[in-house]
Structure 1
């Protein structure tokens, strides 16, 4: 088989294990997740928030089984697209590819809007009692996306070096904050948050668990670095697992510290406060540390925006390189070896979408609309990939009932429950989010099926270039 020319490939061997680990953790965005998703989980789980996170660890372990098992055999810039195209079928994989691309793309939009239009104004309003203005978020978001684009454009190494450094600092700050709060409380520490009592039953804990699972699910985005990773079949699955373990332990610790720091019986007011994590930090660690924490939460949200920009641009690059997307997205920068046109386009369109959402329905509702649309596509894409995993390993004649059927089936049930509690009953703007995601999924799926019928030979290229590059990587070892 003829090798792929260097002008059509990304920078091989640019990402070692620690860089991959940084990408995994950055997509989770620990400090950002505490500021956003953990606060949302507390609305339901209340004083049982730590219990929700403990249970969610098992949920996430089941969730990441599918990309973990896939990455043992198949890797590439397309991630889930390549997994399913080369495993289940080309048409099936391309449908999932565009679905997961949509999800990761929408993560960029909701992250930049939340940071500029919700978190920064809310923090300034609470601590300084000052309203920065209705439209100040626009220049903040503009600067945010420009810096993101430049870093992603300059190459994967700067992006991953930044992500890894930011991740280490975030984890350290969360551990320090949690330990100080727990030590300061002394004898007031209690086991009660690890029971369902404060939530008035397991039903509320289960809903909180759904959001807790979502807050730790981003690690699977690392699979799109298969072309740039060193020893991808080894290091990607390793980064997936270790990032999950690290963030899982830290989230349980942090959820407990914030719960007891706020007051177990008072957790009903945690969600309704503008920035509860910073309020608790100010109470136990003082304003100077809280300012540092604020800065690094912004940094976390920045890294959490950079990671999906890298991911979505590589997915569309991979599909386009196979002739199954706009050809301009398959171009690689001659110096930086990045899919630079895809990066610039994804960033530009994400900015326009975020701006439109913020202006039309406001930053808060705009954020909810964008994040829910992303969640819907992510859940469906993962469910379809769970089925694709079993098909893939049957083709490989390495099928194992537990890891390739039972665990994916449990993951599908968890995801179905997550979808139900996230979207039922539908409420503004969630109902419009679901419509947006469903319309995108249906239109893209119909278009792909029609294309596959009309161009059966072309559709067979799905994921093939990624596999050829992988073969080159292992031949060169």
Structure 2
């Protein structure tokens, strides 16, 4: 889930809408995703598949809903993979070099870095999950420990500590003029939660690995551990950055290219700021590996069932990974990142030539790439919310159909776990989606429109599959094991 990357990217973008309420936005996002762990836990008990959410929805809701979900799930993974390099390579890296070393880079520097942050990780994903995880495991432990300890130091030394940060009605005198154009503090909180929720993209990354782990219950452990640890740390870090920067000055925080790194440098010296930057770059790289692995496996699952072209069902003989699907994800993510940056830049009043020739730390490049990041992240939100809405519906339908008998404590927990909690999570997602649409806010509202267009295409494509490939439609989400199938192919 890349918490250091979230610190320098998602927290800054959330602050552009939530301002001082940014820690509350991340706290609510964490609680929402913790509820979602309940949903994935109860679904994974019934179905372990490389299709992940695609397989879960198929089990409960049938092929039509499964295909739509299967198409939209990789959409938000691809768009997220595209978004992070735009911010980290285009905004943070030039800002770090300028702030610490006085090195001013040209605006186009984000283009080659996109290729580095997307195409190199996809090669690692193609090699196989085991060598990836060995590195990511140790890097993640170090990253989490660094953020947790340093945030506590900043909080302890800050003079702005206040619980009013978690009170959306306490800041009208300071931020009333900023909240008014976007619909008030509750709307600002909802818009901030866009980046709080999407910072958890990847938390369900263990689900598509359901066929490759030795014990399926390890999926549940990964989900619980990931959301709890990363959620607590992100809430802590967002609070530390808010009080460290100044609770009355969060408007300037959002307009700075590396505010988190500056806060760390103020409280922890140059070494603290540099370490956060290095962790953020490593975090973004690891995040790209994980998201491409997830999306590639879902496309593989759909390819082997004929929902997508057979190209996606190819399994590499040596690495036993869906290498062609992964390569497709890498190429598409790169193209989406570059094109979106130019298009949103033009819509922001920044021409292509300005993005290529202006200094990398100029206000023009900063505005264009920040808006592009917000645009891509909000598209990811649409796919993210749809996938989780379908999962929440799936768990309710599945356990209603099972008609299981429950006794003792389970009799009390059954309606809470299988109906109440999924419904609560769905309502929270609906609130965030509504705030991203009304009142209209550029580029968030435009991004929702693109996300809805992707959903409309997915629905139309599913109708086409149902009519033209009835056999593939019937088995959607039901195939079982990538490793077993590869072994069978070798024995033929």
CA offsets per residue over residues 410-432 of structure 1, 9 Å max, x none? Answer: 11111111111223333443344
Q: Within the alignment, does 1:225 sit opposite 2:209 as a pair?
A: yes
What's the secondary structure of 1:466's corresponding residue?
coil
- The corresponding residue for 1:415 is 429
Shift of 1:469: 7.2
Q: Within the alignment, does 1:341 sit opposite 2:324 as a pair?
A: yes
Q: Within the alignment, does 1:216 sit opposite 2:222 as a pair?
A: no
CA offsets per residue over residues 223-263 of structure 1, 9 Å max, x none? Answer: 1111112211x111121112111112212222222222112
Shift of 1:455: 3.5
C-alpha separation in 1, matches of 2:185 and 2:295: 36
Contact kept in structure 2, 1:50 and 1:193, CA below 8 Å: yes
Q: Could you say what the CA RMSD is over the residues aligned between the two structures, in angstroms?
A: 2.6
Distance 1:324-1:176 versus aligned 2 partners, 3 A rule: same
C-alpha separation in 1, matches of 2:314 and 2:485: 21
1:250 aligned to which of 233, 240, 255: 233
Q: Which stretch of structure 1 is more off in the superposition, 189-198 or 64-73?
A: 189-198
- The corresponding residue for 1:461 is 475
Contact kept in structure 2, 1:107 and 1:371, CA below 8 Å: yes
Contact kept in structure 1, 2:296 and 2:326, CA below 8 Å: yes
- The corresponding residue for 1:23 is none
Q: Within the alignment, does 1:132 sit opposite 2:138 as a pair?
A: no
TM-score by length of 1: 0.86
Q: Which stretch of structure 1 is more off in the superposition, 454-463 or 392-401?
A: 392-401
Shift of 1:129: 4.7
What's the secondary structure of 1:437's corresponding residue?
helix
| Structure 1 residues without counterparts, runs of 5 or longer | 1-27
C-alpha separation in 2, matches of 1:455 and 1:55: 43
- The corresponding residue for 1:174 is 147
Give runs of aligned pairs for residues 10-409 of structure 1, distance below 5 A.
28-185=1-158, 189-196=161-168, 198-200=170-172, 203=186, 204-232=188-216, 234-362=217-345, 363-398=369-404, 400-409=414-423
| Structure 2 residues without counterparts, runs of 5 or longer | 173-183, 346-368, 406-413, 488-492
Distance 1:165-1:354 versus aligned 2 partners, 3 A rule: same
C-alpha separation in 2, matches of 1:102 and 1:210: 16
Contact kept in structure 2, 1:101 and 1:315, CA below 8 Å: yes
What's the secondary structure of 2:395's corresponding residue?
helix
C-alpha separation in 2, matches of 1:87 and 1:104: 23
What's the secondary structure of 2:430's corresponding residue?
helix
C-alpha separation in 2, matches of 1:257 and 1:151: 34
What's the secondary structure of 1:227's corresponding residue?
coil
Contact kept in structure 2, 1:126 and 1:274, CA below 8 Å: no
Shift of 1:279: 0.6
C-alpha separation in 1, matches of 2:54 and 2:213: 17
What's the secondary structure of 1:462's corresponding residue?
coil
Contact kept in structure 2, 1:104 and 1:312, CA below 8 Å: yes
Shift of 1:287: 0.7
CA offsets per residue over residues 308-333 of structure 1, 9 Å max, x none? Answer: 10011000001111121110111111
C-alpha separation in 1, matches of 2:329 and 2:442: 27
User: Where in structure 1 do 4 or more consecutive aligned residues deviate above 6 Å?
Assistant: 467-473
- The corresponding residue for 2:464 is 450
C-alpha separation in 2, matches of 1:191 and 1:322: 52
